[in-house]
């Protein structure tokens, strides 16, 4: 059965811009430069552009899927595989959403532990964070979207601060341009997979849109903004740090804040870390809402019941990731799942929906 969302719970199409950008801009922003530079070197900015083009193509496929099914992920799977298998696929999506939630919270906790408070408790901060998220989600989907809009306003204030690096930039660090092979460039694109994932959230929120067809341009603009933001950071970083130095920086975007000097604050990086919490909040709100929504669609359990339970399960996992190695492996694993979900599974679903649509139309005509 398709989801019937009342009009007073739907949002205007342009909010998709904020949802897409908020879902993509999170923990990945703080350290993607080192990851893509491992393979593509200073040509990593080319990987950012190539990745941006690929996600635009995948977004086109998503809209083609939604135009034919006119529902969410649950409806899409039911359209192709039937209701029973749709519940199985939805459960897998719930697990993926939980993984994304855990990586964001645990990644942020690690930064606070390394930069500010070594004894910072993963459990207690995770509990406070998740209680806030559950409170936001209980306010309804519109409240979640409002948090997305607010976080983007904060991000717009943060973006110009990276221009402090311009006087110290050395464009020669970008040379030679195209000095790496196509394979190395695409390995850099794979390194962007965790940072670029998030736009697939559209497959969950589509039924909550007023006149969803009008949201297409805002989704494309959201992806373009994200690509330009990552390109902006990549170019500034590669001109600020030599390649051999960048290899030792886990959070290059945070390190660049160290040069910011203001008369009223000595360590701006501390303020930046605290402010980034607001940027990460919609990430967790969206993915926890997605997990609760899929449980609701599959097993008819209310969000007010499912979301706290899912949040509790995520909270149990947080302290189990005890050190940098475990956190790094977990984030990489989640990034790989996201890459397969977007680069392989979405095209696969696109083909399946197209075939199913052809078959169903042929059956209608024959009847």
Q: Give tens-digit pLDDT for 61-75.
A: 999 999 999 888 999
Look at residue 280 in the predicted model and tell me its pLDDT: 93
Mean pLDDT computed over 331-346? 91
Look at residue 15 in the predicted model and tell me its pLDDT: 95
Residues 67 and 29: their CA atoms lie apart, in Å, by 32
Mean pLDDT computed over 110-128? 89
Residues 200 and 220: their CA atoms lie apart, in Å, by 12
What distance lies between CA 232 and its chain's CA centroid? 18
pLDDT band at 1 (very low <50, low <70, confident <90, very high): low
pLDDT band at 92 (very low <50, low <70, confident <90, very high): very high
Going through 97-226 in order, the beta strands assigned E by DSSP cover none
Mean pLDDT computed over 18-30? 92
Q: What is the pLDDT of residues 187-232, one digit of tens each?
A: 999 989 889 999 999 999 999 999 898 999 999 999 999 999 999 9
State the burial class of residue 268 (Cβ atoms within 10 Å of its Cβ: 0-12, 13-18, 19+). Answer: middle
The answer to whether the CB of 96 falls within 8 A of the CB of 228 is no
pLDDT band at 315 (very low <50, low <70, confident <90, very high): very high
Look at residue 7 in the predicted model and tell me its pLDDT: 83
Q: What residue ranges define each of the domains in the chain, with the CATH number in brackets?
A: 11-346 (1.20.1740.10)
Mean pLDDT computed over 273-284? 91
* pLDDT over 70 percentage in the chain: 98
Query: Which residues are registered as beta bridge partners of 262?
Result: 265
Look at residue 61 in the predicted model and tell me its pLDDT: 95
Predicted TM-score (pTM) of the model is: 0.93
């Amino acid at each position: 059965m398709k989801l019937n969302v009342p009009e007073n719970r739907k949002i205007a199409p342009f909010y998709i811009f904020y949802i897409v950008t908020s879902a993509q801009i999170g923990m990945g922003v703080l350290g993607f430069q080192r990851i893509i530079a491992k393979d593509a070197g200073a040509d990593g900015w080319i990987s950012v552009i190539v990745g941006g083009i690929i996600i635009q193509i995948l977004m086109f496929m998503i809209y083609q899927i939604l135009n034919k099914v006119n529902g969410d992920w649950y409806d899409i799977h039911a359209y192709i595989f039937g209701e029973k298998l749709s519940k199985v696929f939805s459960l897998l999506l719930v697990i993926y959403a939980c993984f994304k939630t855990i990586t964001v919270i645990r990644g942020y906790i690690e930064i606070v532990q390394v930069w500010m408070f070594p004894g910072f408790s993963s459990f207690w901060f995770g509990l406070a964070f998740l209680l806030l998220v559950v409170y936001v989600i209980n306010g309804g989907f519109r409240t979640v979207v409002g948090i997305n809009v607010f976080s983007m306003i904060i991000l717009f204030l943060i973006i110009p601060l990276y221009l402090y690096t311009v006087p110290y930039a050395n464009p020669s660090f970008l040379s030679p341009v195209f000095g790496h092979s196509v394979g190395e460039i695409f390995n850099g694109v794979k390194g962007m997979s965790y940072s670029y994932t998030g736009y697939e959230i559209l497959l969950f929120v589509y039924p909550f849109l007023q006149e969803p067809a009008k949201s297409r341009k805002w989704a494309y603009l959201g992806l373009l903004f994200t690509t330009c933001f990552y390109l902006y950071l990549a170019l500034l970083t590669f001109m600020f740090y030599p390649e051999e130095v960048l290899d030792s920086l886990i959070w290059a975007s945070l390190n660049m804040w160290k040069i910011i000097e203001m008369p009223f604050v000595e360590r701006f990086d501390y303020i930046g870390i605290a402010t980034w919490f607001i940027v990460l909040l919609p990430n967790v709100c969206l993915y926890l809402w997605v997990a609760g929504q899929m449980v609701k669609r599959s097993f008819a359990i209310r969000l007010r019941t499912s979301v706290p339970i899912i949040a509790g399960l995520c909270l149990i996992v947080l302290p189990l990731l005890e050190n940098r190695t475990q956190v790094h492996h977990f984030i990489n694993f989640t990034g790989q799942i996201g890459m397969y979900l977007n680069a392989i599974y979405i095209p696969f679903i696109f083909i399946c929906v197209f075939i199913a649509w052809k078959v169903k139309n042929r059956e209608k005509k024959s009847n």
